[in-house]
Amino acid sequence: MKGTKVVFNNEKLHYSSELMRALAHPLRLKILEFIDRQGAINVNKIYNTLNIEQSITSQHLKILKMAGVVHAEKSGKFVTYEIDYEVIKRAHNAVKKFLA
């Protein structure tokens, strides 16, 4: 392996690490599973149903949003979250490819 030159695209590497970090947390996975079962859902329903504090739920949703895993749409004073399944699919395929 000595002499092999490895080149990383820093932007893609940073995004990939943020995406994997977002998906690696048990509570965020629980939130994603709940959104997946419900479809687009209001943030209030998420924290009330899962019995999570509102501030903690918002922090986790912010991380998922920054990673592109969920999209938020504000309607009046309510925020509805929806999963971006294409991002999930790409992450899944990348992990499968890495482990192969």
Q: Regarding the domain delimited by 10-99, which CATH topology (the fold level of the hierarchy) does it fall under? A: Arc Repressor Mutant, subunit A (1.10.10)
- What is the mean predicted confidence (pLDDT) over 51-58? 95
pLDDT at position 1 over 80: no
- What is the mean predicted confidence (pLDDT) over 63-81? 94
- What is the mean predicted confidence (pLDDT) over 5-26? 87
C-alpha to C-alpha distance for 25 and 59, rounded to whole angstroms: 12
- What is the mean predicted confidence (pLDDT) over 7-34? 91
Confidence (pTM): 0.85
Domain-wise residue ranges, the chain: 10-99
- What is the mean predicted confidence (pLDDT) over 13-37? 93
pLDDT of residue 15: 86
- Give the DSSP letter string of 4-47: ------HHHHHHHHHHHHHHT-HHHHHHHHHHHHHSSEEHHHHH
Percentage of the residues of the chain whose pLDDT score is greater than 70 = 97
pLDDT of residue 65: 96
φ/ψ of 40, rounded to 5, equals -65, 130
